[in-house]
Amino acid sequence: MIGVGIIGTGRMGNAHAGNLSKHPRARLVTAYDVNPTQMDAFVKKFPEVKPAATVEEVVNNPEVGFIVITSPTYCHAEGLRAAMATGKPIFCEKPLCRTAEELKEIAPLISSYSNLFAVGFVRRYSAGGIKLLELVKAGKIGKPICCSIDCLVGGWKREWGDWFADYGKSGGCTLDMLAHHIDLANGLFGVPASIYARAIMMPQGPEKPYDYISATTTSKDGVICNMECSWLRSGPSDNFMVVYGEKGALKKSDAHGLQFFAPGQPVEDIPLDDVKVGELEEKVEGDMYVREMAAIIDGIENGHAPLAGAKQAIEAMKVALGMLESAEKGKVVLL
């Protein structure tokens, strides 16, 4: 039975705690949140949890064998420093950290970490994400040509004062949301050679906060990837990724799962029911967050690497920060 310690008991802390508390080989032990109201609500919901007074108290609890970092993005580095000092398995929500300086400090530490390190790129654990990577690598669409990613929120509800609406704390929709798709694109085409982006970067002043980015990346093999992401106050929301190749195209979307388009053929729905999660032998019932934690618990027990680890965490940060740098300077960024 793996004892779990949680840092940050907000939305994701609750989500992962809920899934881990139902896992047959995990149990919640302790948690810490800077906000006592959040902590109280968490302990009411999960009465087995012993509230801790500091991050250190969570990570050093001898019953904790797995540390889950679900504090806000700008606090990840602080949680990671404490967690890594213990040598215990770690899961850190995405993005890995907030700034280039933090990345410079954290990247070598997680790259050489002696135990499991997983980052919350949950789409790597979704059946559609796994199958898309597998089919493109297997040559289903032939040589990839280009890719189109839309990750649009049209009814964003956060207000000024919320850390998500503080660009310095969250990195806006680019670091917070697009990072997932940047990671999938990295998995498909490698880290891009060049990036050009235009972005709003959450301007101060308007009554309600909003954000938008349009970025074009070019891989070392010449695959052009166009990505659009938003936190806007009105308009429709959408979430899809299309990879176009010389022999066909694959589209992964929240609305229609995974579909294959071949010239002159009807659209083919790709079955996803039997897609395995990494090395996990057992079938996991539940959404991608349930699959993510199930695979990571299995990884801790059996020494399997997570589907999203240090490499994926660092590479996605480099590309996301490159997009922000390009938008800030109005220049192409070469990686």
Ligand X SMILES: NC(=O)c1ccc[n+]([C@@H]2O[C@H](COP(=O)([O-])OP(=O)(O)OC[C@H]3O[C@@H](n4cnc5c(N)ncnc54)[C@H](O)[C@@H]3O)[C@@H](O)[C@H]2O)c1
How many residues appear in the chain? Answer: 335
The amino acid at 292:
E
In a 10 Å sphere around its CB, with 0-12 CB exposed, 13-18 middle and 19+ buried, how is residue 51 labelled?
A: middle
Q: Which is nearer to ligand X, 99 or 194 (CB)?
A: 99
Part in contact with ligand X (CB under 6 A); list of ranges 71-79, 183-191, 200-208, 253-261: 71-79
Least distance to ligand X, CB of residue 58, Å: 9
Told to check if 251 binds ligand X by CB under 6 A, we report no
Q: Which is nearer to ligand X, 14 or 216 (CB)?
A: 14
Q: Which is nearer to ligand X, 124 or 140 (CB)?
A: 124
Least distance to ligand X, CB of residue 78, Å: 6
Report the site for ligand X in 141-200 (rule: CB under 6 A).
Answer: 176
Part in contact with ligand X (CB under 6 A); list of ranges 30-38, 143-151, 192-200, 251-259: 30-38
Residues 250 and 135: beta-carbon distance below 8 Å: yes
Least distance to ligand X, CB of residue 165, Å: 11
Q: How many angstroms separate the first and last alpha carbons of the chain?
A: 43
Return all residues near 324 (Cβ < 8 A) that are at least 6 apart. Answer: 171, 174, 175, 197, 199, 201
**Binding residue for ligand X, selected from 2, 32, 89, 209, defined by CB under 6 A:** 32
Nearest CA among 173, 66, 181, 74 for reference residue 122? 181
> For the window 258-297, what string marks contact with ligand X as x by the rule CB under 6 A?
----------------------------------------
Q: Where are the alpha helices (DSSP H) in 197-306?
A: 288-302
For 34, 42, 58, 267, the CA distances from 4, given in Å and listed in that order, are 18, 14, 9, 44
CA separation for the pair 181, 241 (Å, rounded): 8
In a 10 Å sphere around its CB, with 0-12 CB exposed, 13-18 middle and 19+ buried, how is residue 250 labelled?
A: buried
What tokens appear for 228 in the block?
């659009």
Q: Residues 253-288, buried b or exposed e (16+ Cβ, 10 A)?
A: eeeebbbbeeeeeeeeebeeeebebbebeeebeeeb
Q: Which is nearer to ligand X, 83 or 132 (CB)?
A: 83
> For the window 201-240, what string marks contact with ligand X as x by the rule CB under 6 A?
----------------------------------------
Told to check if 41 binds ligand X by CB under 6 A, we report no
Least distance to ligand X, CB of residue 73, Å: 4
Least distance to ligand X, CB of residue 69, Å: 8
> For the window 81-100, what string marks contact with ligand X as x by the rule CB under 6 A?
------------xx------
Residues 308 and 183: beta-carbon distance below 8 Å: yes
In this chain, which residue has its C-beta nearest to ligand X? 10
Least distance to ligand X, CB of residue 213, Å: 16
Q: Which is nearer to ligand X, 35 or 302 (CB)?
A: 35
Least distance to ligand X, CB of residue 118, Å: 11
What tokens appear for 189 in the block?
């085409």
For ligand X, the binding residues (CB under 6 A) are 7-13, 32-35, 38, 55, 70-73, 75, 78, 93-94, 120, 122, 176
